[in-house]
């Protein structure tokens, strides 16, 4: 699943949300970080194949003549970020009715060690009574950004990917900090691809649990758009290439249980799918 050799190529393409209409779309590029054998590399996705690149994805690179079937490779978390920033309360539909709309982005940090790739299991840790999924668009920073103006912020974005800000609600409510509620191991599914050249602020975002749609809203409903989030964050912390910004989740979030399968789908990007297991399974 999500890029293993066990998947048939056609089924894999459908599962990852790679429709024929995506191939060759003007100005749209889909990147992936992957492992084949003992080698980890970046590549450009071309239909049901991936073309390895030479050089630095966040600097100078060029395509090689080497391609692999997506079913031959293991897709990895799209980047190795120095930091993962997440946004609270960025859709009115997710706010309590009495909660005021924030005047500026409200950020918190997730630790990079919580990130997992498409296909890896979300593990519900012992001690929590409720764990929810949160479907989100995730910004991938393309170059170092500090004190970036909103009108220039998109120049610092490589693209976007799918994310799931998995959250232990009881810990989130009862703890002083959200370190374990939002940052426990496996609480940051991310992937499967980074996509550039699409309208980041007007994409359909959905969460499905066991095939049932549980969240569905367009990213144009974000209170703060992609450029505003990047600009505001860069005023306070230097954003490095590969850093991730989770942009918030819409509506009511679904609770996860062992045995569930959760999909986050972002229009034009793909499908992030992860099984849910209990600790020790």
Query: What CATH class does 84-278 carry?
Result: alpha beta
Going by C-alpha positions, the residue among 180, 158, 166, 69 that lies closest to residue 116 is 166
What is the structure's pLDDT at 57?
97
Distances (CA, A) of 67 to 45, 48, 139, 182, 197: 9, 10, 27, 37, 22
Q: What is the pLDDT of residue 96?
A: 78
pLDDT at 12: 60
Residues of the chain with CATH 3.90.850.10: 84-278
pLDDT mean values, one per 10 residues, the chain (281 residues): 46 62 71 97 97 97 97 97 97 84 95 98 97 98 98 98 98 96 98 98 98 98 98 98 98 97 98 95 70
The whole-number pLDDT of residue 7 equals: 43
What gap in Å lies between CA 15 and CA 266, rounded to an integer? 13
Give residue 185's pLDDT.
98
* Per-position DSSP letters for the chain, written without gaps between them: --S-TTS-HHHHHHHTT--GGGTT-TT-EEEEEEEETTEEEEEEEETTEEEEEEE-TTS-EEEEEEEEEGGGSEE--S---S-EEEEES-BGGGS-TTSPPPSS-EEEEE-GGGEE-TTSPEEE-TT-S-EE--EEEEEEE-S-BSS--GGGGGGGEEEEEEEE--EEHHHHHHSSS-HHHHHSTT-EEEEEEEEESS-TTS-EEEEEETTEEEEEEEGGGBSS-HHHHHHHHHHHS-B-TT-EEE----SPPPBP-TT-EEEEEETTTEEEEEEEEETT-
Query: Whole-model pTM above 0.75?
Result: yes
């Amino acid at each position: 699943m999500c890029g293993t050799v066990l998947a048939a190529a056609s089924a894999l393409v459908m599962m990852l949300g790679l429709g024929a209409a995506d191939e060759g779309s003007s100005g749209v590029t889909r990147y992936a970080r992957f492992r084949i054998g003992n080698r980890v590399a970046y590549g450009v996705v071309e239909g049901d194949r991936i073309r390895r690149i030479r050089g630095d994805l966040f600097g100078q690179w060029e395509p090689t003549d080497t391609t692999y079937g997506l079913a031959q490779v293991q897709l990895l978390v799209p980047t190795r970020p120095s930091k993962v920033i997440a946004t609270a309360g960025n859709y009115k539909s997710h706010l309590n009715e009495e909660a005021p709309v924030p005047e500026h982005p409200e950020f918190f940090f997730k630790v990079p060690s919580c990130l997992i790739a498409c296909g890896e299991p979300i593990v519900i840790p012992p001690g929590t009574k409720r764990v929810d999924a949160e479907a989100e668009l995730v910004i991938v920073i393309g170059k170092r950004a500090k004190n970036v103006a909103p009108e220039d912020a998109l120049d610092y974005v490589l693209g976007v990917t799918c994310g799931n800000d998995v959250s232990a609600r009881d810990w989130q409510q009862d703890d002083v900090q959200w370190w374990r509620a939002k940052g426990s191991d496996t609480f940051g599914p991310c992937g499967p691809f980074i996509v550039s050249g699409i309208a980041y602020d007007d994409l359909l975002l959905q969460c499905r649990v066991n095939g049932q749609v549980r969240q569905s809203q367009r990213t144009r409903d974000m209170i703060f758009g992609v450029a505003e989030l990047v600009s505001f964050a860069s005023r306070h912390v230097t954003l490095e290439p590969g850093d991730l910004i989770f942009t918030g989740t819409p509506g009511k979030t679904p609770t996860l249980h062992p045995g569930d399968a959760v999909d986050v789908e972002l229009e034009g990007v793909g499908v992030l799918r992860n099984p849910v297991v209990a600790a020790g399974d």
